Amino acid sequence: MTKTPRPYKDYQDEIYLDGLRGVVPPFPMTYAGLEDRARAALPPSVVSYVAGGAGDERTQEANVTAFERWGLMPRMFVGANRRDLSVDLFGLTLPSPLFMAPIGVLGICAQDGHGDLATARAAARTGVPMIASTLSADPLEAVAAEFGETPGFFQLYTPTDRELAESLVRRAEKSGFKAIVVTMDTWVTGWRPRDLSTANFPQLRGHCLANYFSDPVFRSRLATAPEQDPQSAILTWVRLFGNPLTWDDLPWLRSLTSLPLIVKGLCHPEDVRRARDGGVDGVYCSNHGGRQANGGLPALDVLPDVVAAADGLPVLFDSGVRSGADVVKAVALGATAVGVGRPYAYGLGIGGVDGVTHVLRSLLAEADLLMAVDGYPTLADLTPDALRRVL
Protein backbone atom coordinates (compact mmCIF):
# COMPACT_ATOMS: atom_id res chain seq x y z
CA MET A 1 0.00 0.00 0.00
CA THR A 2 1.40 3.42 -0.98
CA LYS A 3 -0.06 6.65 0.22
CA THR A 4 1.00 10.15 -0.74
CA PRO A 5 2.63 11.87 2.24
CA ARG A 6 0.17 14.26 3.83
CA PRO A 7 0.76 17.60 5.58
CA TYR A 8 -0.32 16.51 9.04
CA LYS A 9 -0.05 20.12 10.19
CA ASP A 10 -3.37 20.67 8.40
CA TYR A 11 -5.14 19.55 11.56
CA GLN A 12 -3.85 22.68 13.28
CA ASP A 13 -5.11 24.80 10.38
CA GLU A 14 -8.56 23.16 10.62
CA ILE A 15 -8.79 23.95 14.33
CA TYR A 16 -7.86 27.62 13.87
CA LEU A 17 -10.23 28.04 10.93
CA ASP A 18 -13.04 26.45 12.94
CA GLY A 19 -12.27 28.98 15.64
CA LEU A 20 -13.18 31.78 13.26
CA ARG A 21 -16.70 30.31 13.25
CA GLY A 22 -16.77 30.09 17.02
CA VAL A 23 -16.07 26.34 17.08
CA VAL A 24 -13.50 25.04 19.56
CA PRO A 25 -12.12 21.47 19.66
CA PRO A 26 -14.53 19.06 21.41
CA PHE A 27 -11.64 17.07 22.86
CA PRO A 28 -8.65 18.09 25.02
CA MET A 29 -5.41 19.09 23.33
CA THR A 30 -3.05 17.74 26.02
CA TYR A 31 -2.42 14.35 27.53
CA ALA A 32 -3.33 15.62 30.99
CA GLY A 33 -6.61 16.93 29.62
CA LEU A 34 -7.40 13.60 27.96
CA GLU A 35 -6.73 11.73 31.19
CA ASP A 36 -8.85 14.10 33.25
CA ARG A 37 -11.77 13.89 30.83
CA ALA A 38 -11.52 10.09 30.74
CA ARG A 39 -11.70 9.94 34.53
CA ALA A 40 -15.01 11.73 34.35
CA ALA A 41 -16.36 9.65 31.47
CA LEU A 42 -15.37 6.10 32.39
CA PRO A 43 -16.03 3.84 35.39
CA PRO A 44 -13.27 4.12 38.01
CA SER A 45 -12.32 0.46 37.54
CA VAL A 46 -11.66 1.00 33.81
CA VAL A 47 -9.69 4.19 34.37
CA SER A 48 -7.62 2.45 37.03
CA TYR A 49 -6.85 -0.45 34.72
CA VAL A 50 -5.71 1.82 31.89
CA ALA A 51 -3.87 4.39 33.98
CA GLY A 52 -2.20 2.06 36.45
CA GLY A 53 1.22 0.51 36.35
CA ALA A 54 3.21 -2.03 38.28
CA GLY A 55 4.34 -1.44 41.86
CA ASP A 56 4.66 2.18 42.85
CA GLU A 57 4.63 3.06 39.13
CA ARG A 58 8.12 4.53 39.08
CA THR A 59 9.02 2.67 35.90
CA GLN A 60 5.86 3.93 34.26
CA GLU A 61 6.78 7.48 35.26
CA ALA A 62 10.40 6.96 34.18
CA ASN A 63 9.22 5.94 30.71
CA VAL A 64 7.60 9.36 30.36
CA THR A 65 10.34 11.48 31.89
CA ALA A 66 13.06 9.73 29.86
CA PHE A 67 11.99 11.78 26.86
CA GLU A 68 12.74 14.96 28.80
CA ARG A 69 16.44 14.06 28.84
CA TRP A 70 16.68 14.54 25.08
CA GLY A 71 16.37 17.75 23.09
CA LEU A 72 16.16 18.20 19.33
CA MET A 73 18.83 20.44 17.81
CA PRO A 74 17.26 22.98 15.41
CA ARG A 75 18.66 23.18 11.88
CA MET A 76 17.98 26.15 9.60
CA PHE A 77 18.21 26.91 5.86
CA VAL A 78 17.08 23.41 4.98
CA GLY A 79 13.80 24.25 3.25
CA ALA A 80 11.60 22.03 5.39
CA ASN A 81 8.41 23.47 3.94
CA ARG A 82 7.44 19.96 2.84
CA ARG A 83 7.88 16.95 5.07
CA ASP A 84 7.76 13.25 4.35
CA LEU A 85 6.91 11.15 7.41
CA SER A 86 6.42 7.92 5.46
CA VAL A 87 8.17 4.74 6.51
CA ASP A 88 8.73 1.34 4.89
CA LEU A 89 7.84 -1.56 7.16
CA PHE A 90 7.62 -5.23 6.16
CA GLY A 91 7.02 -4.36 2.52
CA LEU A 92 4.38 -1.77 3.39
CA THR A 93 4.76 1.95 2.84
CA LEU A 94 3.06 3.61 5.78
CA PRO A 95 2.23 7.34 5.76
CA SER A 96 3.89 7.88 9.15
CA PRO A 97 5.87 5.97 11.80
CA LEU A 98 2.96 6.13 14.26
CA PHE A 99 0.98 3.04 15.20
CA MET A 100 -1.48 2.11 17.94
CA ALA A 101 0.02 -0.25 20.50
CA PRO A 102 -2.07 -3.25 21.60
CA ILE A 103 -4.34 -2.66 24.58
CA GLY A 104 -6.35 -5.56 25.98
CA VAL A 105 -9.26 -3.61 27.41
CA LEU A 106 -10.17 -1.39 24.48
CA GLY A 107 -13.59 -2.95 24.33
CA ILE A 108 -14.62 -1.68 27.74
CA CYS A 109 -12.94 1.70 27.20
CA ALA A 110 -15.66 2.61 24.71
CA GLN A 111 -19.04 3.79 25.85
CA ASP A 112 -20.77 1.12 23.73
CA GLY A 113 -18.46 -1.73 24.77
CA HIS A 114 -16.98 -2.13 21.28
CA GLY A 115 -13.75 -0.18 21.57
CA ASP A 116 -11.74 -2.52 19.37
CA LEU A 117 -14.07 -1.83 16.45
CA ALA A 118 -13.95 1.93 17.09
CA THR A 119 -10.16 1.87 17.18
CA ALA A 120 -10.02 -0.07 13.90
CA ARG A 121 -12.32 2.53 12.34
CA ALA A 122 -9.99 5.29 13.53
CA ALA A 123 -7.12 3.40 11.90
CA ALA A 124 -9.07 3.39 8.65
CA ARG A 125 -9.69 7.15 8.91
CA THR A 126 -6.12 8.14 9.71
CA GLY A 127 -3.90 5.54 8.06
CA VAL A 128 -2.36 4.80 11.47
CA PRO A 129 -2.05 1.00 11.88
CA MET A 130 -3.58 -0.75 14.85
CA ILE A 131 -2.01 -3.72 16.60
CA ALA A 132 -5.12 -5.58 17.67
CA SER A 133 -4.86 -7.42 20.98
CA THR A 134 -5.74 -11.06 21.53
CA LEU A 135 -7.83 -9.73 24.42
CA SER A 136 -10.68 -8.17 22.48
CA ALA A 137 -14.37 -7.50 23.03
CA ASP A 138 -15.07 -8.41 19.41
CA PRO A 139 -13.61 -11.27 17.34
CA LEU A 140 -10.50 -10.47 15.38
CA GLU A 141 -12.35 -11.03 12.10
CA ALA A 142 -14.78 -8.22 12.94
CA VAL A 143 -11.92 -5.92 13.93
CA ALA A 144 -9.97 -6.60 10.72
CA ALA A 145 -13.06 -5.87 8.64
CA GLU A 146 -12.98 -2.24 9.84
CA PHE A 147 -9.41 -1.41 8.77
CA GLY A 148 -10.24 -0.30 5.25
CA GLU A 149 -6.96 0.25 3.38
CA THR A 150 -4.93 0.65 6.56
CA PRO A 151 -2.90 -2.44 7.48
CA GLY A 152 -3.45 -4.05 10.85
CA PHE A 153 -1.22 -6.33 12.92
CA PHE A 154 -2.36 -9.05 15.31
CA GLN A 155 -0.85 -9.30 18.79
CA LEU A 156 -0.66 -12.82 20.18
CA TYR A 157 -0.65 -13.73 23.85
CA THR A 158 0.69 -17.22 23.29
CA PRO A 159 -1.49 -19.79 25.06
CA THR A 160 -0.14 -22.99 26.57
CA ASP A 161 -2.23 -24.93 24.06
CA ARG A 162 -0.22 -24.94 20.82
CA GLU A 163 -3.21 -25.92 18.74
CA LEU A 164 -5.10 -22.90 20.05
CA ALA A 165 -2.14 -20.63 19.27
CA GLU A 166 -2.06 -21.95 15.72
CA SER A 167 -5.80 -21.43 15.36
CA LEU A 168 -5.55 -17.78 16.43
CA VAL A 169 -2.70 -17.15 14.00
CA ARG A 170 -4.53 -18.86 11.14
CA ARG A 171 -7.60 -16.74 11.81
CA ALA A 172 -5.45 -13.60 11.78
CA GLU A 173 -3.88 -14.61 8.47
CA LYS A 174 -7.24 -15.36 6.89
CA SER A 175 -8.66 -12.05 8.12
CA GLY A 176 -5.94 -10.04 6.39
CA PHE A 177 -3.66 -9.02 9.23
CA LYS A 178 -0.21 -8.12 7.91
CA ALA A 179 2.01 -9.29 10.77
CA ILE A 180 1.97 -11.26 14.01
CA VAL A 181 3.28 -9.58 17.17
CA VAL A 182 4.09 -11.99 20.01
CA THR A 183 4.13 -10.41 23.46
CA MET A 184 6.78 -11.97 25.69
CA ASP A 185 6.32 -10.25 29.05
CA THR A 186 2.70 -11.06 29.95
CA TRP A 187 2.47 -14.79 30.51
CA VAL A 188 1.72 -13.78 34.10
CA THR A 189 0.33 -10.43 35.25
CA GLY A 190 2.57 -8.04 37.14
CA TRP A 191 1.89 -6.65 40.62
CA ARG A 192 -0.60 -3.81 40.05
CA PRO A 193 -1.69 -2.18 43.31
CA ARG A 194 -4.41 -0.03 41.71
CA ASP A 195 -6.20 -3.08 40.36
CA LEU A 196 -5.51 -5.13 43.46
CA SER A 197 -7.04 -2.48 45.69
CA THR A 198 -10.37 -2.93 43.88
CA ALA A 199 -9.87 -6.68 43.26
CA ASN A 200 -10.55 -5.94 39.59
CA PHE A 201 -9.26 -8.11 36.76
CA PRO A 202 -11.56 -7.56 33.75
CA GLN A 203 -10.94 -10.88 32.02
CA LEU A 204 -11.94 -12.84 35.13
CA ARG A 205 -15.29 -11.07 34.78
CA GLY A 206 -15.56 -12.28 31.20
CA HIS A 207 -14.54 -9.06 29.49
CA CYS A 208 -12.52 -8.97 26.26
CA LEU A 209 -12.40 -12.73 25.70
CA ALA A 210 -14.24 -12.77 22.35
CA ASN A 211 -11.28 -14.20 20.44
CA TYR A 212 -11.23 -17.22 22.72
CA PHE A 213 -14.95 -17.77 23.00
CA SER A 214 -15.28 -17.62 19.20
CA ASP A 215 -12.34 -19.93 18.50
CA PRO A 216 -13.18 -23.49 17.42
CA VAL A 217 -10.16 -24.98 19.17
CA PHE A 218 -10.90 -23.17 22.43
CA ARG A 219 -14.55 -24.20 22.26
CA SER A 220 -13.52 -27.81 21.70
CA ARG A 221 -11.77 -27.69 25.08
CA LEU A 222 -15.07 -26.88 26.84
CA ALA A 223 -17.71 -29.24 28.11
CA THR A 224 -20.36 -26.56 27.66
CA ALA A 225 -20.48 -23.61 25.27
CA PRO A 226 -19.47 -20.22 26.73
CA GLU A 227 -22.96 -18.91 26.11
CA GLN A 228 -24.40 -21.51 28.49
CA ASP A 229 -21.61 -21.62 31.06
CA PRO A 230 -19.42 -18.52 30.87
CA GLN A 231 -17.76 -19.15 34.23
CA SER A 232 -16.36 -22.51 33.13
CA ALA A 233 -15.13 -20.92 29.91
CA ILE A 234 -13.37 -18.19 31.90
CA LEU A 235 -11.67 -20.79 34.10
CA THR A 236 -10.50 -22.63 30.99
CA TRP A 237 -9.09 -19.35 29.66
CA VAL A 238 -7.19 -18.86 32.92
CA ARG A 239 -5.67 -22.32 32.56
CA LEU A 240 -4.60 -21.78 28.95
CA PHE A 241 -3.63 -18.10 28.85
CA GLY A 242 -0.02 -17.74 29.94
CA ASN A 243 2.88 -19.53 28.24
CA PRO A 244 6.36 -18.76 29.67
CA LEU A 245 8.13 -19.13 26.35
CA THR A 246 11.79 -20.10 26.08
CA TRP A 247 14.26 -19.91 23.21
CA ASP A 248 13.38 -23.50 22.41
CA ASP A 249 9.90 -22.27 21.45
CA LEU A 250 11.13 -19.74 18.89
CA PRO A 251 11.43 -22.20 15.97
CA TRP A 252 7.83 -23.29 16.62
CA LEU A 253 6.65 -19.65 16.71
CA ARG A 254 8.50 -18.96 13.48
CA SER A 255 6.87 -22.01 11.87
CA LEU A 256 3.34 -20.79 12.68
CA THR A 257 3.17 -18.17 9.96
CA SER A 258 4.72 -16.82 6.80
CA LEU A 259 3.66 -13.32 7.88
CA PRO A 260 6.28 -11.05 9.41
CA LEU A 261 6.94 -12.19 12.99
CA ILE A 262 7.66 -9.52 15.59
CA VAL A 263 8.58 -10.25 19.20
CA LYS A 264 7.45 -7.67 21.73
CA GLY A 265 9.15 -6.84 25.01
CA LEU A 266 12.81 -7.17 24.00
CA CYS A 267 15.05 -4.74 25.84
CA HIS A 268 18.37 -6.59 26.25
CA PRO A 269 20.73 -6.55 23.24
CA GLU A 270 21.55 -10.24 23.66
CA ASP A 271 17.86 -11.13 23.49
CA VAL A 272 17.56 -9.05 20.34
CA ARG A 273 20.51 -10.82 18.73
CA ARG A 274 19.14 -14.26 19.57
CA ALA A 275 15.71 -13.34 18.23
CA ARG A 276 17.25 -11.98 15.03
CA ASP A 277 19.32 -15.14 14.58
CA GLY A 278 16.15 -17.17 15.24
CA GLY A 279 14.44 -15.75 12.20
CA VAL A 280 12.14 -13.01 13.49
CA ASP A 281 11.36 -10.19 11.10
CA GLY A 282 11.25 -7.37 13.62
CA VAL A 283 11.77 -6.59 17.29
CA TYR A 284 9.54 -4.52 19.52
CA CYS A 285 11.35 -2.59 22.24
CA SER A 286 8.88 -2.09 25.10
CA ASN A 287 8.45 -2.60 28.83
CA HIS A 288 4.66 -2.74 28.46
CA GLY A 289 4.37 0.90 29.42
CA GLY A 290 5.45 0.07 32.97
CA ARG A 291 2.37 -2.10 33.54
CA GLN A 292 4.11 -5.40 33.98
CA ALA A 293 7.32 -4.84 35.95
CA ASN A 294 8.39 -2.04 38.25
CA GLY A 295 11.99 -1.16 38.98
CA GLY A 296 13.24 -1.45 35.42
CA LEU A 297 14.94 0.89 33.00
CA PRO A 298 12.91 3.29 30.89
CA ALA A 299 12.33 1.70 27.50
CA LEU A 300 13.71 4.78 25.74
CA ASP A 301 17.06 4.34 27.51
CA VAL A 302 17.56 0.86 26.07
CA LEU A 303 16.31 1.72 22.58
CA PRO A 304 19.71 2.67 21.06
CA ASP A 305 21.31 -0.63 22.13
CA VAL A 306 18.29 -2.56 20.86
CA VAL A 307 18.59 -0.83 17.49
CA ALA A 308 22.30 -1.63 17.29
CA ALA A 309 21.71 -5.29 18.14
CA ALA A 310 18.84 -5.54 15.65
CA ASP A 311 21.45 -4.83 12.95
CA GLY A 312 19.04 -3.60 10.32
CA LEU A 313 15.86 -5.37 11.42
CA PRO A 314 12.91 -3.01 11.93
CA VAL A 315 12.54 -1.89 15.54
CA LEU A 316 9.10 -0.99 16.84
CA PHE A 317 8.97 0.98 20.07
CA ASP A 318 6.48 2.02 22.74
CA SER A 319 6.35 2.99 26.41
CA GLY A 320 5.87 6.52 27.65
CA VAL A 321 4.89 8.18 24.35
CA ARG A 322 2.65 11.12 25.14
CA SER A 323 3.30 13.65 22.37
CA GLY A 324 4.38 14.19 18.81
CA ALA A 325 7.74 15.37 20.15
CA ASP A 326 8.15 11.97 21.81
CA VAL A 327 7.51 10.27 18.47
CA VAL A 328 10.19 12.40 16.80
CA LYS A 329 12.74 11.66 19.53
CA ALA A 330 12.11 7.91 19.40
CA VAL A 331 12.64 7.93 15.62
CA ALA A 332 15.86 9.89 16.09
CA LEU A 333 17.08 7.22 18.50
CA GLY A 334 16.52 4.55 15.89
CA ALA A 335 12.91 3.38 16.12
CA THR A 336 11.41 2.43 12.77
CA ALA A 337 7.86 2.86 14.08
CA VAL A 338 6.54 4.33 17.32
CA GLY A 339 3.51 3.11 19.25
CA VAL A 340 1.13 5.14 21.38
CA GLY A 341 -1.05 3.54 24.03
CA ARG A 342 -2.78 5.32 26.91
CA PRO A 343 -3.44 8.59 25.02
CA TYR A 344 -5.59 6.92 22.38
CA ALA A 345 -7.32 4.75 24.99
CA TYR A 346 -8.41 7.94 26.75
CA GLY A 347 -9.51 9.43 23.44
CA LEU A 348 -11.58 6.30 22.86
CA GLY A 349 -13.19 6.59 26.28
CA ILE A 350 -14.30 10.18 25.82
CA GLY A 351 -15.17 10.19 22.13
CA GLY A 352 -15.13 6.79 20.44
CA VAL A 353 -13.89 6.86 16.85
CA ASP A 354 -13.77 10.65 16.84
CA GLY A 355 -11.79 10.72 20.08
CA VAL A 356 -9.16 8.28 18.82
CA THR A 357 -8.93 10.11 15.51
CA HIS A 358 -8.38 13.39 17.36
CA VAL A 359 -5.53 11.93 19.43
CA LEU A 360 -3.78 10.44 16.39
CA ARG A 361 -4.15 13.56 14.27
CA SER A 362 -2.88 15.70 17.15
CA LEU A 363 0.22 13.55 17.62
CA LEU A 364 0.96 13.60 13.89
CA ALA A 365 0.36 17.34 13.56
CA GLU A 366 2.73 18.07 16.42
CA ALA A 367 5.41 15.77 15.00
CA ASP A 368 5.01 17.30 11.53
CA LEU A 369 5.22 20.87 12.84
CA LEU A 370 8.22 20.06 15.03
CA MET A 371 10.07 18.66 12.02
CA ALA A 372 9.11 21.77 10.04
CA VAL A 373 10.21 24.31 12.62
CA ASP A 374 13.43 22.51 13.58
CA GLY A 375 14.46 21.69 10.01
CA TYR A 376 14.05 17.95 9.54
CA PRO A 377 12.20 17.33 6.27
CA THR A 378 12.26 13.51 6.39
CA LEU A 379 12.54 10.73 8.93
CA ALA A 380 15.97 9.89 7.48
CA ASP A 381 17.15 13.28 8.76
CA LEU A 382 16.25 12.24 12.30
CA THR A 383 19.39 10.49 13.50
CA PRO A 384 20.98 10.37 16.97
CA ASP A 385 23.08 13.38 15.89
CA ALA A 386 19.85 15.42 15.85
CA LEU A 387 19.52 15.03 19.62
CA ARG A 388 21.42 16.44 22.55
CA ARG A 389 21.29 15.34 26.17
CA VAL A 390 19.45 17.77 28.43
CA LEU A 391 21.23 18.11 31.75
Q: What is the C-alpha to C-alpha distance for residues 119 and 130, in angstroms, rounded to an integer?
A: 7
Q: Check the annotation: does 318 bind a ligand.
A: yes
Q: Check the annotation: does 103 bind a ligand.
A: yes
Q: Check the annotation: does 192 bind a ligand.
A: yes
- Length of the chain (residues): 391
Beta bridge partners of 130: 100, 152
Q: What is the C-alpha to C-alpha distance for residues 306 and 312, in angstroms, rounded to an integer?
A: 11
Q: Check the annotation: does 268 bind a ligand.
A: no
Q: What is the C-alpha to C-alpha distance for residues 247 and 255, in angstroms, rounded to an integer?
A: 14
Q: Check the annotation: does 255 bind a ligand.
A: no
Q: Check the annotation: does 389 bind a ligand.
A: no
Q: What is the C-alpha to C-alpha distance for residues 300 and 285, in angstroms, rounded to an integer?
A: 9
Q: Check the annotation: does 157 bind a ligand.
A: yes
Query: What end-to-end distance do the CA atoms of the chain give, in Å?
Result: 42
Known catalytic residue: 288? yes
Q: Check the annotation: does 284 bind a ligand.
A: no
Q: Check the annotation: does 75 bind a ligand.
A: no
Q: Check the annotation: does 102 bind a ligand.
A: yes
306-340 burial code (b ≥16 CB/10 A, e <16): bbebbeebbbbbbbbbbbbbbbbbbbbbbbbbbbb
Q: Check the annotation: does 97 bind a ligand.
A: no
3-state secondary structure 307-324: HHHHCCCCEEECCCCCCH
Selection from 264, 324, 292 nearest residue 60 by Cα: 292
From the list 114, 207, 268, 288, the catalytic residue is 288
Q: Check the annotation: does 53 bind a ligand.
A: no
Q: What is the C-alpha to C-alpha distance for residues 97 and 88, in angstroms, rounded to an integer?
A: 9
Q: Check the annotation: does 362 bind a ligand.
A: no
Binding site, by residue number, is: 49, 102-104, 133, 155, 157, 183, 192, 264, 286, 288, 291, 318-322, 341-342
Q: Which residues are designated catalytic?
A: 288
| Residues of the binding site for FMN | 102-104, 133, 155, 183, 264, 286, 318-322, 341-342
Binding site for glyoxylate, by residue number, is 49, 157, 192, 288, 291
